[in-house]
Amino acid sequence: MTYFDHFDPYNSRQPQAQGLLSAGWRPYYRQIEPKFLADLVLRDTPELAHKWFSLNSNLANIAGRNEFAWWANVMNLFSTEARYHLDDFWNYITPDPPYPDHRFPDILSVETPIKPMISRDAIAIDHVFSRLREIIILKILKFLGRPTLVTQHYLDRYFYFPIEQFVNWERLDVINTAFGYWEDPEMWLQIDNVGKERRLTLLARDLKPLVRKVTHGLAVMLSGYQSRVGQIQSQFTIRSFPKDIQDFTDVVQQAILDQDQLAVLVSGEPGTGKTVWTQAIAKEILVSLGYVTFILDHDAVQNFAPPPYLERICLIINEADNLAQDRSMEVAQYSNKTEHILSLLDGTLYRSVIDEIGMQSDQKLVILMTCNTTERLDPAMLRKGRIDLTCEFTHRFV
């Protein structure tokens, strides 16, 4: 049995000062489940017998004290001491409230709300990735709607929130840790209070289908203080390009369907439509295939690793000839950007991230790069196995 004390010492200056009951929570009363009790009888008979005799012994001791009158001993059966022994036995013969299975392989967590971070000098890539996780988690919660069950444990007591009164997670009072559960799909949400923020953690057997649903059309621009998360946009359509570019686009589309990792390099003078072509590819082809697009400037490339919770990723890197410069040139010897982009292209960094955290190897990566000229590129960039497809744009498009 679970009881609630109306005189719990809450801090009156905090939102939870009125107590969980006034916030809509209700005590969670543990119920007898025949299967659970049968398992106890069959598999833990000695302990069950011990608990049963201990309970009777304690109650008999409480009710049979010589120093009290008979009516006082009867009253003692309703005392705090008797209630403690009854609760202990009841909690043993009844199952705990549902609790998340932390052995679930897919976990996605973030502290929200994300504090803004602006810098003209450096890209706060961790901040942008945190914002991306926050958006994905909040979109998943909106998509799932009302949970099957919401529980909270506080001061050794379990509480539940009536589902018919549930509005949204922002309005739910959480003192320590609360749990939400969806039966279909089998998924848990854990909410932890961390100061002024909350940590939201999704736990599931397979999060990928839900992540794929809520990231449709999502794009992330990593470019200093302008970094943001939003939707991919394209100023021009693929069919507005010249015929030879359209034919090349068809080849790229087929390669995207056939390969797990693809790198495409397009070159040409400024104004030939290289950048808007990459955006058109992302908008018209990759969005429909479930890809999340990352538009990276040179500093972002140096610190980028593919997020493992995304199944399909597209990287757009403009002006690659200013990034992966020939390492025989003096200017390129003061930067390791060339080595980093090479590791992305040949998959060493990409595969090592997957292996390290045990994710599935079915994550797909498409890299679209533009450059004004291939002459300044490091020769290693153009070796077989790194750049799969190339094309020179000659038509003055813009």
Q: How far apart are CA 125 and CA 3, in angstroms?
A: 48
Residue 328's pLDDT is what? 52
Q: Average pLDDT for residues 201-225, to the nearest whole number?
A: 89
Q: Per DSSP, which regions of the chain are E strands?
A: 26-27, 106-112, 149-154, 157-160, 177-182, 187-194, 197-204, 218-222, 228-231, 261-268, 292-296, 312-317, 364-371, 389-393
Count other Cβ atoms within 10 Å, centred on residue 10: 15
Secondary-structure class of domain 216-393 per CATH: alpha beta
Contact 229, 310 (CB under 8 A): no
Please provide residue 397's backbone torsions phi and psi, each rounded to the nearest 5 degrees: -90, -40
* pLDDT tens profile 53-98: 998 888 888 887 777 777 777 787 778 888 888 888 888 888 888 8
Q: How far apart are CA 387 and CA 123, in angstroms?
A: 27
In this predicted structure, the answer to whether residue 11 has a pLDDT above a threshold of 70 is: no
In this predicted structure, the answer to whether residue 13 has a pLDDT above a threshold of 50 is: no
Q: What is the DSSP letter of 361?
A: T
Supply 227's token pair: 């970094």
* pLDDT tens profile 190-209: 999 887 889 999 999 889 89
Contact 182, 210 (CB under 8 A): no
Q: How far apart are CA 50 and CA 62, in angstroms?
A: 18
Q: Give the full edge-to-edge strand order of the sheet including 364-371.
A: 228-231, 218-222, 292-296, 312-317, 364-371, 261-268, 389-393
Note the Cα 114 to chain centre separation in Å: 14
Residue 279's pLDDT is what? 94
Q: How far apart are CA 81 and CA 86, in angstroms?
A: 9
Structure confidence at residue 166 as a pLDDT band (50, 70, 90): very high
Q: Average pLDDT for residues 322-331, to the nearest whole number?
A: 56
Pairing of strands 389-393, 261-268: parallel
> Which residues lie across from 158 on neighbouring strands?
153
Q: Give the full edge-to-edge strand order of the sheet including 197-204.
A: 26-27, 157-160, 149-154, 177-182, 187-194, 197-204, 106-112
* pLDDT tens profile 28-57: 888 888 888 898 888 889 998 998 999 888
Output the pTM of the full model.
0.78
> Which residues lie across from 26 on neighbouring strands?
160
Q: What residue type is assigned to position 66 of the chain? A: N
Q: Looking at mean pLDDT, say which of 167-176, 295-304, 355-364 comes out highest.
A: 167-176
* pLDDT tens profile 242-275: 999 999 999 999 999 999 889 899 999 988 999 9
